[in-house]
């Protein structure tokens, strides 16, 4: 695990979210550091997606402060918001591709909105993105309903990456994918993170991807967040966190991670 000297790029303070009588977040604090992959986990209904939606400004909290790049998201003008919005990308759960546009056109939507670029070059850029997320060339001319779930997620990621954002928000990126596709998606995120210098915030249920790519994990318990590296959280004795990481699935994911690491070490040691 690398160190995190990075400054906080997202800072959430005293967040309160309430729907009717039900309080989802109560005084939640969260820092996301530049260049890290942060996983957000929690039980069903614990408000993971609400937290994500609040940070990107789709949900207005009852109380609290959300700062992204050092600026208050809740207090900014529309113009400032637009400037902010081309510095982040969001991948929604099922891709949320515009159904009347092809994949290539979907990717071009944000580019067209913000920049005046010749058509030919724009087509090339969108084709580069299609390739980067591991879709075949033909996928660019397909409509969303012609794609499988995994391909839709990749296409959604390509659209989220269209403007080379600094932060990417992923809402359950591997949910509904088969283990091979999920593993490939994890790898893709990791590759893109190193090559593009992304900060990644992902809501996930997938223990394998937590162990595989997350630098730190934020656990939503008791309407607040407990954040730490996996090693720290594995030692946490909060009952929910303990049963999450030490339940049968948590243990299996840990073991497979250990196995993968030892295999990797063995491989890198072999040629010497």
Q: Which two tokens stand for residue 84?
A: 């902010």
Binds other proteins (CB under 8 A): choice among 111, 200, 212, 217: 111
Backbone angles phi, psi at 205, to 5 degrees: -110, -5
For residue 152, give the nearest of 161, 144, 140, 160 by alpha carbon.
Answer: 144
Instruction: Identify the DSSP state of 172.
Output: S
Q: Which is nearer to other proteins, 178 or 191 (CB)?
A: 191
**Contact status: 116 vs other proteins (CB under 8 A):** yes
Tell me the C-alpha distance between 192 and 244, whole Å: 28
Binds other proteins (CB under 8 A): choice among 76, 96, 109, 117: 117
Coil vs helix vs strand at 66? strand
**How far apart are CB 244 and other proteins at their closest, in Å?**
30
With CB under 8 A as the contact rule, which of the stretches 41-49, 138-146, 200-208, 258-266 interacts with other proteins?
A: 138-146
Show the binding pattern over residues 153-192: x = contacts other proteins (CB under 8 A), - = does not.
--------x-xx--------------------------xx
With CB under 8 A as the contact rule, which of the stretches 52-60, 63-71, 193-201, 230-238 interacts with other proteins?
A: 193-201
Under rule CB under 8 A, which residues in 65-104 are in contact with other proteins? 99-100, 102-104
**Contact status: 194 vs other proteins (CB under 8 A):** yes
**Contact status: 128 vs other proteins (CB under 8 A):** yes
The 8 Å CB, 24+ separation contacts for 81-87 are 81/57, 86/110, 86/114, 86/163, 86/165, 87/163, 87/165, 87/166, 87/167
Binds other proteins (CB under 8 A): choice among 58, 62, 74, 121: 121
Binds other proteins (CB under 8 A): choice among 123, 187, 236, 257: 123
**Contact status: 113 vs other proteins (CB under 8 A):** no
Instruction: Identify the DSSP state of 142.
Output: S
Number of C-beta neighbours around residue 51 at 10 A: 26
Helix ranges, 74-219 (H): 78-85, 103-114, 119-132, 149-160, 179-196, 207-213
**Contact status: 124 vs other proteins (CB under 8 A):** yes
List interacting residues with other proteins (CB under 8 A).
99-100, 102-105, 111, 115-118, 120-121, 123-132, 137-141, 144-145, 161, 163-164, 191-192, 194-197
């Amino acid at each position: 695990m690398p160190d995190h000297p990075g400054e906080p790029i997202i800072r959430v303070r005293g967040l309160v979210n309430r729907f009717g009588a039900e309080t989802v977040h109560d005084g939640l604090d969260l820092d996301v550091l530049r260049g890290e992959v942060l996983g957000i986990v929690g039980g069903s209904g614990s408000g993971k997606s609400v937290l994500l939606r609040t940070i990107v400004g789709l949900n207005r909290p009852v109380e609290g402060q959300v700062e992204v790049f050092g600026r208050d998201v809740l207090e900014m003008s529309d113009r400032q918001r637009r400037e902010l919005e081309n510095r982040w990308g969001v991948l929604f759960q099922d891709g949320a591709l515009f159904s009347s546009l092809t994949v290539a056109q979907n990717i071009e939507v944000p580019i067209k909105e913000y920049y005046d670029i010749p058509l030919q070059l724009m087509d090339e850029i969108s084709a580069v993105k299609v390739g980067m997320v591991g879709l075949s060339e033909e996928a660019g001319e397909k409509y969303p309903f012609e794609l499988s779930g995994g391909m839709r997620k990749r296409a959604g990621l390509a659209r989220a990456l269209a403007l080379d954002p600094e932060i990417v928000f992923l809402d359950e990126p591997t949910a509904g994918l088969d283990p091979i596709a999920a593993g490939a998606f994890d790898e893709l995120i990791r590759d893109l993170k190193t090559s593009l210098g992304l900060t990644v915030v992902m809501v996930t249920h997938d223990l394998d991807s937590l162990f595989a790519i997350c630098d730190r994990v934020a656990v939503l318990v008791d309407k607040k967040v407990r954040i730490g590296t996996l090693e720290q959280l594995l030692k946490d004795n909060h009952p929910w966190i303990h049963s999450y990481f030490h339940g049968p699935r948590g243990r299996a994911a840990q073991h497979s991670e250990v196995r993968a690491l030892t295999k990797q070490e063995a491989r890198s040691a072999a040629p010497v």
